[in-house]
């Protein structure tokens, strides 16, 4: 009985305290909100102050929004606050490339594994300073500019764009129905891609087989325990590198609502967005080598986009839709219609040379402890 009476008395005091707080708030005699980190022992006091702070912030936002709308109605220019994103707070990276390009990177492109797919022009020759009076005697030794021009001419003769020829296979002998659907759609997306059944051959033997028959790349699709496509291995031939990607958020074009079809013989336009670092530039060149070099007089209706955002590469496949020019407005004459498939890629590793899981030399390996900060990105 004593315990029940004590509980009843405590409950009564609690209700009275709540009523006092509410009455104080209604009458406007509430205490001033303390500034700084102040500890308030009373629980109901803390809740009351937190609620008051929340209402004050909401009131200020509402008044600011109202003033902005009134100024916009009067025809004045209004400074709209910019939302701060993680990309804007990105920590500086020493490997970030400038927008105008880098001479060192351009020199590496003339010697990397993709030089046959993307032939680059030789560096422009520099004008030598005039010789002094003491050096007027002719010299039979070739100058550095002449040597550079000769090397550039030889490289131009050797470097011809190589058409992509890609072998697409799986890591399992019998893929699932969903994997077959992805294989069928990717073969239509990427020009020059052919599907081969793996059977009982290991991946290293498949790479040697493809290299001897003039293929430029090998793409291997893997599944998880639920028989869902989970990863991609891309090996560039004949020198490498080999990249390993985790595949998530897969949606086939056959399952999309209002999905479109395309002509697989038409070459698509390739868009690579957000590959800003040295590693991202290298990975972007490998992805671009699957589609080949785009000619300046390219004409087509298909678009394939690889959009990198926070180290997640989003794959999309569209086609241009041209509406009736007479009935449509100026902004609605051209639109994009998604064909599919769509999925998300996450780079797990980049390995030098051909596929060698145990003995290979890795340029980049993703680790869970390497992504402690959300403001650090690799690509």
Domain ranges of the chain: 25-69, 166-370
pLDDT band at 142 (very low <50, low <70, confident <90, very high): very low
- Given a contact cutoff of 8 angstroms between Cβ atoms, the answer to whether 236 and 228 are in contact is no
Residue carrying structure tokens 């003769």? 157
What's the pLDDT score for residue 112?
83
Mean pLDDT within 253-265: 81
Q: What is the pLDDT of residues 310-323, one digit of tens each?
A: 999 999 999 888 77
- Triad 158, 164, 166: Cα angle to 5°: 135
CATH number of 166-370: 3.40.50.10480
Residue carrying structure tokens 């599907």? 195
pLDDT band at 258 (very low <50, low <70, confident <90, very high): confident
Q: Which residues pair with 232 in a beta bridge?
A: 221, 245
Mean pLDDT within 167-176: 90
What's the pLDDT score for residue 25?
56
d(CA 363, CA 379): 13
Percentage of the chain modeled with pLDDT above 70: 80
Over the chain, what is the mean pLDDT?
80
What's the pLDDT score for residue 371?
76
pLDDT band at 5 (very low <50, low <70, confident <90, very high): confident
Other beta carbons within 10 Å of 16: 10
Checking DSSP bridges between strand 312-322 and strand 242-251, what pairing results, if any? unpaired
d(CA 128, CA 143): 9
d(CA 220, CA 267): 22
- Given a contact cutoff of 8 angstroms between Cβ atoms, the answer to whether 225 and 213 are in contact is no
What's the pLDDT score for residue 140?
45
pLDDT at 120 over 60: yes
d(CA 128, CA 126): 6
What's the pLDDT score for residue 37?
55
pLDDT at 343 over 90: yes
pLDDT at 127 over 50: no
């Amino acid at each position: 009985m004593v315990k029940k009476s004590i509980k009843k008395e405590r409950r009564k005091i609690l209700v009275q305290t709540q009523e006092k707080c509410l009455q104080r708030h209604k009458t406007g005699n509430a205490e001033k909100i303390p500034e700084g980190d102040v500890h308030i022992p009373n629980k109901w006091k803390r809740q009351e102050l937190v609620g008051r702070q929340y209402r004050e912030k909401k009131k200020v936002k509402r008044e600011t929004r109202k003033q902005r709308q009134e100024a916009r109605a009067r025809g004045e220019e209004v400074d709209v606050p910019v939302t701060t994103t993680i990309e804007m707070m990105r920590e500086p990276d020493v490997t970030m490339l400038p927008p105008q390009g880098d001479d060192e990177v351009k020199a590496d492109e003339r010697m990397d594994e993709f030089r046959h797919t993307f032939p680059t022009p030789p560096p422009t020759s520099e004008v030598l300073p005039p010789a002094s009076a003491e050096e007027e005697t002719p010299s039979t030794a070739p100058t550095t500019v002449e040597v550079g021009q000769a090397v550039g001419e030889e490289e131009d003769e050797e470097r011809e764009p190589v058409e992509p020829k890609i072998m697409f296979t799986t890591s399992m002998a019998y893929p699932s129905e969903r994997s077959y659907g992805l294989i069928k759609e990717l073969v239509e997306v990427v020009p020059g891609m052919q599907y081969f059944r793996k059977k009982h051959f290991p991946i290293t033997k498949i790479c040697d087989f493809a290299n001897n028959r003039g293929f430029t790349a090998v793409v291997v699709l893997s599944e998880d325990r639920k028989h869902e496509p989970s990863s991609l291995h891309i090996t560039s031939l004949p020198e490498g590198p080999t990249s390993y990607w985790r595949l998530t958020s897969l949606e086939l074009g056959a399952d999309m609502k209002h999905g479109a079809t395309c002509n697989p013989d038409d070459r698509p336009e390739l868009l690579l967005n957000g590959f800003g670092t040295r590693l991202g530039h290298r990975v972007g060149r490998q992805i671009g080598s699957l589609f080949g070099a785009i000619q300046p007089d390219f004409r087509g209706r298909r678009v394939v986009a690889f959009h990198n955002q926070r180290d997640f590469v989003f794959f999309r496949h569209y086609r241009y839709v041209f509406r009736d020019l007479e009935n449509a407005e100026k902004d609605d004459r051209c639109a994009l219609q998604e064909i599919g498939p769509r999925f998300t890629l996450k780079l797990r590793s980049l390995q030098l040379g051909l596929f060698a899981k145990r003995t290979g030399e890795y340029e980049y390996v993703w680790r869970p402890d390497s992504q402690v900060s959300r403001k650090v990105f690799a690509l």
